[in-house]
Structure 1
Amino acid sequence: MSKLTNPILKNHKINFSSKLSKSILLGFVFTILGSYEAKAQFTLTGQLRDRVEMRAGQGTLQQEGDKAALFTSQRTRLNAGYSGYRFKIFTAVQDVRVWGQDASSINRTTTEANNGILLHEAWAEIFLNDTVSTIQNLSIKAGRQEISYDDQKVLGSLDWLQQGRRHDAIVFKFANKGWIADVGAAFNQNKENNAGTVYNGTNPAYGAGTNGIGTMYKSFQYAYVGKKFFFGDLSFLFFKDDFNKYTLVTAGTPAVTTKVNGTGVWSRNTTGVYFNTNVTRKLNLMGSYYYQGGKNKDGRSLNANLFSITSTLQVGRKLFIGPGVDFLSGDDGTKTVTADSKDNRFDPLYGTPHKFWGSMDYFYAANGFGKQGLLDYFFKIKYNAKDNLSFALDIHGFESANTLSNGAGGKLNSYLGTELDLLVKYNLTKIINIEAGYSFMKATNSMASAAVKNVANADLSPQFAYVMLNIKPNFLAKK
C-alpha cells in the first residue's frame, strides 16, 4: 500500500533550518509564553461581604426595655496587583456602608458625611535579592498595608470589622530556611506642612486609635523574628508606639479644659514571645507572653503583661476540643489613680480582639470596659461535619483581673459573666461562603457597674446574631 501524501506539502517542504522559519517558530512560542506570563503578573480579585446583624446588647449592655437593633452592612473591595522584575505592587480599594445609609438618589452631602470609600491598601514591594541569590527573600515593602503576625493577638488585620485595619508604614523583610525577620516603622502627620511635627492623633476617615484609646500613634517601630522548627513555630516581637505629648489647659468662664498638643512623644514598649507546637500528633499547644512598659498615651508609666495558652485536642477525625486561658493585667480599682501612679493595664495593641475575647466584643474592642484587666478562661469545640461545613462552640468565663470598686470604698464580685458563641460556616463554592453566628451572655451586676460598663437598670441577658455572605471572586481565573 502506498503512503498518502499531501501534494502541497510534498512540493513545498518547510525548511526549519532557515532563519525565517526559526524566527516565526520562536515568535509563536514567545507569544504563547508571554500571554501566560502576563496573566501571572497581573492579578485582579474582589470581595463582596454582606452581614445582617441583630444587636441586643452587643458591645455593651442595654437598659431594660431597650429594643434590639437590626441592620445590614456591606464591604465591597477591589484588589489589583502586578508583579514585575524585582518588584510587586498591590492596591485594595473598598467601600463600607450600611444599607440605606445614603439616599437612593444622589446626595453629595450625605455621601461625604458617611465617608464609606477609602484606600485600604496601596503598597509596593521591592526585592533586593536577584533570582540567583541563595536568600529566599530580601525586600522593602512601603505604603498602606496590613501588618499581621502569629495568631493576631497583638498585631492583626481585624478582618471582622468591615473596614478592617491598615497602617501607613515601611517594612524591611527577610526570609530564608524557615527564618523570618521583619523590621518596620511608621510616622504620621495630619497634613503637609513647613514646620513642626505635632500630630493630633485623629483620622475622621476611619476613627481614632484602637481598643477605645481615642488616639492614633504618632509613630511606631518594630522588629519581628520567627522560626519554623521541627516541633512548631517560635517567634519574638518588639513593638514601640509613640503618642504625641499634650498638656491640659483650663481657661474661660465657665472654666473649660482643653487638650493642647506639644512637641515630643510618650513611648510605649511591648515585648513578647509566641509559640505554636504539636505536643503529639493530636494535641496542639499555642501560647504567648507579652510585657508592656514605657509610658501610655497620657504619659503615665506602664507595667503590664499578657499571658495566653490554648490547647486543642483532636478527638476522632472531625472533632476538636480544648480549654485555654487569657490573662491581661489591670489596675486595682480601689486605689486612686494619679499622674505619678503606675498604669498596669495591658493594651493588646493593634490585634483582633473579636477572635479571642468573645464574639459580642465586650473587651478590648471599640467600647471601653474599665481599667481592671481581664481573665478569660474558655473551652472551644469545633466539628467539621463535611469538607465545606463546620460548627464551632466557644464557652467563655469572664472575670476582672484585678479588684473592682463599688465606688463607696467596698469591692464588687470580680466575675463579669458567661458567654456562649455558636458559629456555622458553609462553603457553597470555592468563592462563596455563608456564615452564621449566635451569641448569648449571662452578665452579672459587676458587668453593669460603673467600674466596668456603667449601665444603669441593665438587661443582664444580652444577645447577638448575624448572617454573613462572603463572595471573593478571581476575575482572571479560568472558568
Structure 2
Amino acid sequence: MKKHILGGAICLFIGVLSYNNSQAQFTLGAQLRTRTELRDGQGSPLSLGTKPAIFTSQRSRLSAGFTGYRFKLGLTVQDVRVWGQDVSTINRTTTADNNGFMLQEAWAEIMLLDTTVKNKSLNLKIGRQELNYDDGRLLGNLNWLQQGRRHDAALIKYESNSWMLHLGAAFNQNKENAAGTIYNATPPGNYTATTNGGTQYKSLEFLYLGKKLAKGNISFLFLADQFNKFHTDSVNGAAVKTWDEGVYNRATTGLFFNNQFDKLGVTASAYYQFGSNASGQTISGELLSACFQYAVCKSFSAGAGVDYTTGGLSSSGRTSKAFDPLYGSPHAFWGLMDYFYAANGFGNKGLQDYYIKTKLKAGPRFQMTLDGHEFFSSSYIPGGVTRRFGTEADLVGTYAMSKVISFEAGYSHFWNTASLTAPSVKNITNAQSNSNWAYLMITLKPELLLK
C-alpha cells in the first residue's frame, strides 16, 4: 500500500512537469510535526498511584496540488506514528493497530462553469477530502490530532461574491462487494475518530448555505448521517455485533453566526438533532453556544462565553437527549485536556461550559493564550452528587521562528469533582482530584509554487 501511494505521487509529479500549459500551476508542500506530551490525567483522571505517560508522536506529510484549465487536483499522503512504535529492524505499519501511513487527501475539483465567469463558480469536488465549515464545531478537519480527519465524498459547490451553497454526500463500503451493501461500521484498529463510539457512518448527506457579512458570516446547515443496523448475539458469554440490512437515520440542523463589530467579536450557534443514533436509540438533542471577544488594545483581547449541550433521557426514558457534535474539532472548544466529546466519553450527560479566554500578542511572532473553563453536567447524576464536573485552566504559547518553522508549548490543569469520576460518568475508582497535561510541538511546513 505504501509503495503504491508513493508511486502514484511520483507519477503525478512527473506528469505535472511534463504538462505544457501556460495556465498550469503546481504546488508542492511538506509538513513535519513532532509533539512530546506528558499525560497525567489527560482525557480522564487517573487513579491514585498511577504514573503519568510520556511520549513523542510525529506527523509527516507530503502534499501536491495541480491547477489547470477548469480543474484542480490535490494529493496529501501522511505517516503518523509514535517514536519507538516500530523496532529498528521490523516495520509493523501494515498491522491493523499500527497503520500510521495513510492517504489524507486525494481529490479532483472540476469547474463546471467556464473560468471566464469571474463572480460565480459551480464546481464538483470528488475524492478523499477534508470538510471544514464555520468554526469547525460540527464539521472540522480535527487538525490537532496527528492523523486529522477526512471524508471520502462528493461535493457540489456554488459560490458567488457573497453567497455559497454546498451539497455533499458520502457512501461507505468495506470492499468491492458482489452483492448487498451491509457495512461493518467498526474499522480495523478501532480508531474512535468520532463521538459515535468508534462507529463510522455508512452514508452522509449535507446542505450548507452561507452568506458573507461585513466582517463575518451567517450560515445554515442540514446534515443527515446513516448507520448500519445490527443485532447483538451472545458468543461464549460475550456480546458480539452482527450487522443487518437497513440503516438508522440521524439529522442535525441549525444556524451559525459570526461577525466583528469594531473591537467586539461575537459568535453564536444553535443546532437541533433528531432521528436515531448509531445504537438505534431515538434522540432529541440541542446545542446552544454564544461568546464574545473584545480587543482591549492591539496586543491584548479578552472574552467570555457559554456552551450548552443537552444530555440524559426524556421523562419517558425512551428518548436520548444527548447531543452528538458530529465530525468537528472538540479540542478547540471544550478544554484542551479533551475530557468531553473526544475519545473519552462521559456518560452522555450533556455539558454546560462557562469559560473566559484571553489572548496576548507580544509582537508579530509570539502569542500566548490563557483560558479558564467551569464544567457542569446538563442532566441529573445518580447518587445525589453535584452536577459540577470541575475546573480547567489552559495556557498555550506559540513562537514563529520563520514562515516555515514554529514552536508551540502548552500546559493544562484540571481540578475535578467526584461527579466527574462517578460510575455513570467516567467511572474511575479512587481517582486523583488534580490532573495535568503538558506538551511541546515543533512544526516545519515548507511550500513551493511552480508556474
TM bucket by the smaller chain? over 0.9
1:267 aligns with 2:249: yes
Of 109, 114, 119 in structure 1, the residue corresponding to residue 98 of structure 2 is 114
79-88 or 225-234, larger mean C-alpha shift: 225-234
Report the counterpart of residue 324 of structure 1 in structure 2: 305
Instruction: Give the letter for the 1:379 counterpart.
Output: I
Aligned partners of 2:93 and 2:322: how far apart in 1?
A: 39
Report the counterpart of residue 29 of structure 1 in structure 2: none
Of 66, 69, 73 in structure 1, the residue corresponding to residue 57 of structure 2 is 73
Of 265, 271, 278 in structure 2, the residue corresponding to residue 297 of structure 1 is 278
Which string of whole-angstrom CA distances, capped at 9 and with x for unpartnered residues, describes residues 44-94 of structure 1? Answer: 001000000000000011011111111000000000111111111100000
CA contact (8 A) 2:25 2:450 kept: no
1:462 CA drift (Å): 0.4
Of 277, 293, 306 in structure 1, the residue corresponding to residue 259 of structure 2 is 277
Instruction: Give the letter for the 2:32 counterpart.
Output: L
Structure 1 segment 21-420 matched on structure 2, within 5 A = 37=22, 41-105=25-89, 107-109=90-92, 112=95, 113-133=97-117, 135-204=119-188, 207-211=191-195, 213-230=197-214, 232-250=216-234, 255-278=237-260, 280-332=261-313, 341-406=318-383, 411-420=384-393
TM-score when scaled to structure 1?
A: 0.87
CA contact (8 A) 2:251 2:275 kept: yes
1:309 CA drift (Å): 0.6
1:392 CA drift (Å): 0.3
Aligned partners of 1:210 and 1:375: how far apart in 2?
A: 20
Report the counterpart of residue 418 of structure 2 in structure 1: 445
1:111 CA drift (Å): 5.4
- SS class of match (2:128): strand
CA contact (8 A) 1:118 1:205 kept: no
Instruction: Give the letter for the 1:259 counterpart.
Output: K
Aligned partners of 1:110 and 1:343: how far apart in 2?
A: 39
| Percent of aligned positions that are identical | 47
Number of corresponding residues = 432
1:202 CA drift (Å): 2.1
1:135 CA drift (Å): 4.5
Which string of whole-angstrom CA distances, capped at 9 and with x for unpartnered residues, describes residues 311-361 of structure 1? Answer: 00010121110010000100159x795xxx001000000000000000000
Instruction: Give the letter for the 1:293 counterpart.
Output: F
Aligned partners of 2:220 and 2:50: how far apart in 1?
A: 46
Report the counterpart of residue 7 of structure 2 in structure 1: none
Aligned partners of 1:436 and 1:135: how far apart in 2?
A: 42
CA contact (8 A) 2:138 2:329 kept: yes
Aligned Cα root-mean-square deviation (Å): 1.9
1:248 CA drift (Å): 2.1
1:209 CA drift (Å): 4.5
1:42 CA drift (Å): 0.8
1:255 CA drift (Å): 4.2
Aligned partners of 1:164 and 1:454: how far apart in 2?
A: 28
Aligned partners of 2:446 and 2:401: how far apart in 1?
A: 13
CA contact (8 A) 1:103 1:110 kept: no
1:95 CA drift (Å): 0.1
1:205 CA drift (Å): 6.1
Report the counterpart of residue 12 of structure 1 in structure 2: none
CA contact (8 A) 2:213 2:259 kept: no
Aligned partners of 1:81 and 1:283: how far apart in 2?
A: 37
Report the counterpart of residue 21 of structure 1 in structure 2: none
Aligned partners of 2:53 and 2:121: how far apart in 1?
A: 49
CA contact (8 A) 1:102 1:111 kept: no
Which string of whole-angstrom CA distances, capped at 9 and with x for unpartnered residues, describes residues 143-185 of structure 1? Answer: 0000010000000000000000000000000110211110000
Change over 3 Å in CA distance of 1:301–1:434 after alignment to 2: same
Instruction: Give the letter for the 2:344 counterpart.
Output: N
TM-score when scaled to structure 2?
A: 0.92
Change over 3 Å in CA distance of 1:207–1:297 after alignment to 2: same
Q: Which has the larger radius of gyration?
A: 1
Instruction: Give the letter for the 1:299 counterpart.
Output: G
Report the counterpart of residue 426 of structure 1 in structure 2: 399
Report the counterpart of residue 467 of structure 1 in structure 2: 440
CA contact (8 A) 2:266 2:293 kept: yes
- SS class of match (2:419): helix
1:259 CA drift (Å): 1.7
CA contact (8 A) 2:93 2:100 kept: no
- SS class of match (2:431): coil
- SS class of match (2:187): coil
Q: Structure 1: where are the runs of 5+ without partners?
A: 1-33
Instruction: Give the letter for the 1:61 counterpart.
Output: P
- SS class of match (2:139): coil
1:195 CA drift (Å): 0.5
Instruction: Give the letter for the 2:307 counterpart.
Output: D
1:230 CA drift (Å): 3.0
- SS class of match (1:381): strand
Which string of whole-angstrom CA distances, capped at 9 and with x for unpartnered residues, describes residues 106-160 of structure 1? Answer: x144653521100000000000011222552110000000001000000000000
Change over 3 Å in CA distance of 1:320–1:36 after alignment to 2: farther
- SS class of match (2:331): helix
CA contact (8 A) 1:304 1:330 kept: yes
1:475 CA drift (Å): 3.7
Instruction: Give the letter for the 2:242 counterpart.
Output: V
Q: Structure 2: where are the runs of 5+ without partners?
A: 1-18
Change over 3 Å in CA distance of 1:37–1:435 after alignment to 2: farther
Aligned partners of 1:135 and 1:194: how far apart in 2?
A: 46
CA contact (8 A) 1:353 1:365 kept: yes
